[in-house]
């Protein structure tokens, strides 16, 4: 079985694959202070809950944008599984043509998302990843990574608003019943939600226009808030909550032959 780990700035998503089937998955908090030993205890408990044994793991692949946690997961793999993980970067995807000026600077999550969207939905395509940052990744007609966009994430923007506005209350990020709020809380909720949807739709339309893509191409949303904005978005065509895990699996398979 393959253990696929997607380490983000806020959350870490973990998937357990038997061949191509995702049989278990977990969402954890990305704590940069966790050591490999602490992760080993945590993962042993997770495996116990689903009646799995560490010895069932034949490989581990890690996509990480948090360097401190990358080394911690290497320690976890050595202690709990006795294996060296595949740490994904641009060198792990030699068949993916990367058009960025410096391929080494492209986040591994963006690379695996591009691999997955091309495999599952065809090309050209756009991935919208709604996490700590809102990122758009553009995959060209030949499957090449054509570049992308990085904007403040929905929760990141909301947190900045609450931090700087002494009298502004925190609200749940969900679709409000009306655009025009009748209270401060309703107004904030409308601004955060519909403003975020507007940012995504504007960016997607700009990419389509600049790249000369035909309308109707796959625009695949993933990340923690993808489901929350899908109904209001005019550009997102599908939500795939496990796109990144699928990309990690595909990269692992291509590297393991």
**Residue 100 and residue 194 in one domain:** yes
Strand partners, 133: 152
Please report, for the domain that includes residue 145, its CATH number: 3.30.420.40
Residue 201 φ then ψ, to 5°:
-65, -40
**Residue 36 and residue 116 in one domain:** no
Handedness of CA 104, 107, 113, 116 (dihedral sign): positive
Q: For position 159, what pLDDT does the model report?
A: 84
Q: For position 65, what pLDDT does the model report?
A: 94
Digit-coded pLDDT (tens) for 155-196:
888 888 877 765 566 788 889 999 999 988 899 899 999 999
Cα dist from 98 to 66, 84, 90, 189, 246, whole Å? 21, 26, 8, 38, 20
Range picked from 58-62, 214-218, 253-257 for highest mean pLDDT:
58-62
**Residue 32 and residue 132 in one domain:** no
Residue 22 lies in a domain: yes
Could you tell me the residue range of the domain that residue 144 belongs to?
Answer: 96-243
- 109: annotated active-site residue: yes
Among 87, 106, 133, where does a domain finish? 87
pLDDT of 79 higher than 70: yes
* Average of per-residue pLDDT across 226-255: 96
Q: Cα torsion for 9, 18, 252, 24, to the nearest 10°?
A: 0
**Residue 185 and residue 119 in one domain:** yes
**3-state SS class at 27:** strand
Catalytic: which of 109, 129, 137, 240? 109
Alpha carbon distance 113, 52 (integer Å):
27
Alpha carbon distance 175, 190 (integer Å):
7
**Residue 115 and residue 55 in one domain:** no
Cα dist from 242 to 22, 53, 54, 96, 219, whole Å? 9, 23, 22, 20, 15
Cα dist from 34 to 16, 29, 71, whole Å? 21, 10, 10
Residue 252 lies in a domain: no
**Residue 27 and residue 138 in one domain:** no
């Amino acid at each position: 079985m393959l253990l696929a780990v997607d380490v983000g700035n806020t959350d870490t998503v973990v998937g357990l694959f038997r061949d191509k089937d995702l049989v278990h998955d977990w969402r954890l908090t990305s704590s940069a202070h966790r050591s490999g030993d602490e992760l080993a205890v945590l993962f042993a408990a997770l495996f116990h809950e689903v009646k799995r044994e560490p010895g069932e793991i034949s490989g581990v692949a890690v996509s990480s944008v948090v360097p401190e946690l990358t080394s911690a997961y290497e320690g976890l793999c050595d202690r709990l599984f006795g294996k060296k993980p595949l740490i994904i970067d641009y060198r792990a995807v030699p068949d993916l043509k990367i058009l960025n000026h410096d391929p080494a600077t492209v986040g591994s999550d963006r690379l695996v998302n591009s691999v997955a969207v091309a495999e599952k939905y065809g090309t050209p395509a756009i991935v919208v990843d709604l996490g700590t940052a809102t990122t758009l990744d553009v995959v060209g007609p030949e499957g090449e990574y054509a570049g992308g966009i990085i904007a403040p994430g929905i929760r990141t923007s909301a947190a900045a608003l609450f931090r700087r506005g002494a009298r502004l209350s925190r609200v749940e990020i969900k679709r409000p019943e009306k655009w025009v709020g009748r209270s401060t809380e309703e107004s904030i909720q409308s601004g955060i939600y519909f403003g975020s949807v507007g940012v995504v739709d504007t960016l997607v339309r700009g990419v389509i226009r600049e790249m000369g893509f035909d309308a109707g191409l796959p625009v695949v949303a993933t990340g923690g808030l993808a489901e929350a904005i899908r109904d209001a978005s005019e550009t997102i065509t599908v939500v795939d909550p496990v796109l990144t895990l699928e990309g990690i699996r595909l990269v692992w398979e291509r590297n393991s032959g």
